[in-house]
Structure 1
Amino acid sequence: METIVVLFNRDLRVRDHPALAAACSRGGVVPLFVLDPAIEAGHRREFLHESLHDLRASLRRLGGDLVVRHGDPVAEAMRVAGETSAAGVWASADVSAFARRREQRLAEACETHRLEFRTFPGVTVVPPGALTPPGGDHYKIFTPYWRVWSAWPGRPVLEPPERVRLPHGLAPGSLPALSPEPFGVVRGGETEGLRRMDEWVGDGLGRYGDTRDHLAARTSMLSAYLHFGCVSPNELARRAGRHRGGDDYVRQLCWRDFHHQVTHAFPGITRHDYRPRGRLPGRTAWGRDADAEAAWREGTTGVPVVDAGMRQLRREGWMHNRARLIVGSYLTKRLGIDWRVGADHFARLLLDADVPNNFGNWQWVAGTGNDTRPNRTLNPVRQARRFDPCGEYVRRYVPELASLPDDLVHEPWRAPVPVRGYPRRPLGGEISG
């Protein structure tokens, strides 16, 4: 019986997993996850551990197990392949510079050991690089990409394998213990991700087009499950597309794929301007202000909607998408602070911190990325009045302002009496709504 090592990374599921399905059809399979000390999980650690426990349980129900090792993924994959006389190492393809280097090292190690190395789709709906414009290697503008992406025939959603045949005598290894007080508002794992997907598609999707920008409105909360691959983006797109109101949501999944194909072509997106236009009118370069940056991170800028978003991030490891745009525009366009300051902070705290989406969206809002209007600036007061008209979102995360009336909650510096415990003047001066 031929054995294949399937190296899991951002694909922690058994459903619609092309690499796992193909390996199971060949014979024996070693589902392998390597806890790499080079990757700083941060607030994502507990979600990851929950997802791994759930994945192990799913594989055991199929007759297999999750083999867990600690160390360098390439070295451990080669070691496990040698122990099981495996014929190859397969994995889901990814696009970040770190992931691409890992894939290259895996390919070279497999060649040295005369093993087959293959990568499969699964992290996105459409594989990065599958759609290219005439004369280019990737789409730089979203709308043309959306048109061709929407016409992509796609691949069928794969059911979980009927059986996972793990070679005898292989020690599965231990998983980290789960914390009694996990961080965040969602729990990790494919089981919970599928439950949330069912609930969202069946009950929440119909209102998405009308409420998706409302800061206090219900959202799918599936982004962390997409980041860790607990939910298949391919299955989510197919299911959402069949329901009323699904087009707007599917378009957001297309945005996710768009940033992945940009990162595939421009892996330096985490450090380098995609378009070298980071200079702001009247400024020679991005500024740095330690006090302003600290106030922004802590949610004490004196701009309520900005502070609400930043406190939500610290408390929950998540932030509403509209709030992400507002706080990003405020940091880069109003305070003139380097977008990398914000992107790095988000990368540390977000449960759903995809490299392509986090850094791609930060460059978009800063005017250095794929926005066709690089000078676009979001007025935080106007945005708050429009998308949080009753102040529900602000009051939820900035309780100091709970007693202010609706007409003042978004601009407390206009209140006749200073609000105790809240800045009297916002960073950058008062903002006209």
Structure 2
Amino acid sequence: MDTVIVLFNRDLRVHDHPALAAACADAWRVVPLFVIDPGVPGGHRAGFLAESLDDLRGSLRERGGDLVVRQGDPVAETLRLARELPAQAVYVSADVSALAQRRERRLAEECERHRMEFRAFPGVTIVPPDALRPSGGGDHYRVFTPYWRVWSGQRRREVLGAPAKVRIPEGLEAGPLPVAGHEPHGLFRGGETVARERMRQWLKYCVEDYADGHDDLAGNRTSKLSPYLRFGCLSPLELESLSENGDDFVRQLCWRDFFHQVTRAFPRINRDDYRPQGQEWRDDEDAAQAWKEGRTGVPIVDAGMRQLLAEGWMHNRARMVTSSFLVRRLRVDWRVGAEHFFDLLLDGDVSNNYGNWQWVAGTGNDTRPNRIVNPVRQARRFDPEGEYIRRYLPELDAVPVKMIYEPWRMSTGIRGYPAPLVSMD
């Protein structure tokens, strides 16, 4: 072929990018394309996305190519560019959300109508979401442990290097990148270059201790690679392949694949109960707002919510504690919390965010739908000195640990700190 368009969406990298690698092998000219869709607000992720696109453009230019940027409906803009070039094919990385599946169907139909080839490639997950089927029937695994066993033995595709050369048509206007605006949250800068350095440091110094330290709230010993996986700045397959002696960490990557295969089969995971349990939720806007702002009166919950507001990220253990508090203690609909997380988390994607929220709410893939997480026990176990709590609640700096754990037991409460929204006895 003469020309192939590679439409980038959630795969902003050049290393181990099957669609890009195939295009470079199949065609003389390759047009990497990203379409800014005004219908999908960037929110808190806009700055991170802008930096990631800038880094991707730099990597492509180093290889003789460029990143073409357009704005509008991704299908319409891709077809418009294809007719202008002209292009013979459009390659994409397959994704699983309802939006992504609709986009791919529309793109495939339009390519067929215009007599162009359309191909969707793996790359967003380690094992393709449709690759594993339960032996007893069904289109996906509903329980994690059987999936983990089969997933662990599944043969992997080859990890691909970055293309040495990307030939782009001469005279093609690249288009402006989105402006990053204000500095993204201090913990993270977007892009594959930063992501790969973070990955190297994590694999060299930290992954072997993941099992012992990933629940340590104050120690902050998780990888913090999730935003880079969410935007595809890192290949999850490459990360897994390099994670020697990191079985517990690889298990977390499997959870990510698990929720992606659930979402592919149940794309309304962000709207409807996966397993309806007949719960009756409270419509309490004041309680929900207090939870969002970190004013529940339960320090471990408030610390997690303040971390989210400050950093666009939250420790994995704190996510479980805060989400369980909202749905189990306040009895607020899981969708309220899930949407708040999705809006603020740099790593917020449909599959992981809503899959985990439904798991906590008892409407998802947890085999124990009535599971309740006790925030006091969690704080004592995973933040025994109150260091994490004080980090995000400076008003409690001088408060004894015992009082931080159980402020509701003190007759006077904590001056300047709200009373608990609900009884914790």
Q: Same fold (TM over 0.5)?
A: yes
Number of the residue aligned with 1:315: 310
Number of the residue aligned with 2:216: 214
Matches within 5 A, 1:35-74: 35-74=36-75
Q: Give the root-mean-square deviation of aligned CA atoms.
A: 1.1
| Residues 162-210 of structure 1 deviation map (CA, whole Å, 9 limit, x = unaligned) | 1000011110001123335333420000000000000000001121100
Q: Relative to structure 2, which stretch is displaced further, 254-263 or 412-421?
A: 412-421
Number of the residue aligned with 1:338: 333
Q: CA deviation at 1:70?
A: 0.6
Distance 1:215 1:182 in 2: 23
Q: 1:427 aligns with which of 415, 421, 425?
A: 421
| Residues 112-162 of structure 1 deviation map (CA, whole Å, 9 limit, x = unaligned) | 111101100000000001001021110000000000000011011100001
Task: Find the residue that maps to 1:64 and give its secondary structure.
Answer: coil
- Given that residues 37 and 73 in structure 2 are in contact (C-alpha distance below 8 angstroms), is that contact kept between their aligned partners in structure 1? yes
Distance 2:178 2:326 in 1: 37
The code of the aligned residue for 1:106 comes to: L
* Residue 376 (str. 1) matches residue 390 (str. 2): no
Distance 1:98 1:178 in 2: 24
The code of the aligned residue for 2:260 comes to: H
Distance 1:330 1:177 in 2: 37
- Given that residues 48 and 180 in structure 2 are in contact (C-alpha distance below 8 angstroms), is that contact kept between their aligned partners in structure 1? no
Matches within 5 A, 1:169-188: 169-188=171-190
- Given that residues 65 and 166 in structure 2 are in contact (C-alpha distance below 8 angstroms), is that contact kept between their aligned partners in structure 1? yes
Q: CA deviation at 1:409?
A: 1.7
Q: 1:222 to 1:43 in 2, by over 3 A?
A: same
| Residues 56-111 of structure 1 deviation map (CA, whole Å, 9 limit, x = unaligned) | 00000000000000111001101111111111111000000000000011011101
Task: Find the residue that maps to 1:383 and give its secondary structure.
Answer: helix
- Given that residues 47 and 179 in structure 2 are in contact (C-alpha distance below 8 angstroms), is that contact kept between their aligned partners in structure 1? no
Number of the residue aligned with 1:287: 282
Distance 1:153 1:111 in 2: 32
Task: Find the residue that maps to 1:13 and give its secondary structure.
Answer: coil
Matches within 5 A, 1:364-403: 364-403=359-398
Matches within 5 A, 1:87-102: 87-102=88-103
The code of the aligned residue for 1:40 comes to: P
- Given that residues 46 and 180 in structure 2 are in contact (C-alpha distance below 8 angstroms), is that contact kept between their aligned partners in structure 1? no
Distance 1:117 1:184 in 2: 39
Structure 1 length-normalised TM: 0.96
Distance 1:187 1:340 in 2: 29
Distance 1:263 1:317 in 2: 24
Task: Find the residue that maps to 1:407 and give its secondary structure.
Answer: helix
Matches within 5 A, 1:176-255: 176-217=178-219, 218-240=221-243, 242=244, 244=245, 246-255=246-255
* Residue 275 (str. 1) matches residue 275 (str. 2): yes
- Given that residues 157 and 234 in structure 1 are in contact (C-alpha distance below 8 angstroms), is that contact kept between their aligned partners in structure 2? yes
The code of the aligned residue for 2:263 comes to: T
Q: CA deviation at 1:417?
A: 4.6
Distance 2:391 2:407 in 1: 15
Number of the residue aligned with 2:264: 264
- Given that residues 278 and 367 in structure 1 are in contact (C-alpha distance below 8 angstroms), is that contact kept between their aligned partners in structure 2? no
Task: Find the residue that maps to 2:70 and give its secondary structure.
Answer: strand
Q: 1:84 to 1:191 in 2, by over 3 A?
A: same
Distance 2:403 2:215 in 1: 21
Distance 2:101 2:51 in 1: 26
Task: Find the residue that maps to 2:403 and give its secondary structure.
Answer: coil
Distance 2:52 2:375 in 1: 36
Give the total of aligned pairs.
422
Distance 1:16 1:107 in 2: 23
* Residue 112 (str. 1) matches residue 113 (str. 2): yes
Distance 1:177 1:361 in 2: 32
Q: CA deviation at 1:346?
A: 0.6
Distance 1:53 1:278 in 2: 47
Distance 1:184 1:355 in 2: 24
Q: CA deviation at 1:413?
A: 2.9
Distance 1:420 1:60 in 2: 57
Q: CA deviation at 1:216?
A: 1.6
| Residues 373-427 of structure 1 deviation map (CA, whole Å, 9 limit, x = unaligned) | 000000000111001111111000011111112222222233465323211x211
Q: 1:408 aligns with which of 398, 403, 407?
A: 403
Q: Which runs of 5+ in 1 are unaligned?
A: 280-284
Q: Relative to structure 2, which stretch is displaced further, 87-96 or 213-222?
A: 213-222
- Given that residues 66 and 172 in structure 1 are in contact (C-alpha distance below 8 angstroms), is that contact kept between their aligned partners in structure 2? yes
Distance 2:384 2:324 in 1: 20
Distance 1:337 1:177 in 2: 37
* Residue 357 (str. 1) matches residue 352 (str. 2): yes
Q: CA deviation at 1:278?
A: 4.4
Task: Find the residue that maps to 1:269 and give its secondary structure.
Answer: coil
Task: Find the residue that maps to 1:408 and give its secondary structure.
Answer: helix
Task: Find the residue that maps to 2:146 and give its secondary structure.
Answer: helix
Q: Relative to structure 2, which stretch is displaced further, 225-234 or 129-138?
A: 129-138
Distance 2:367 2:215 in 1: 21
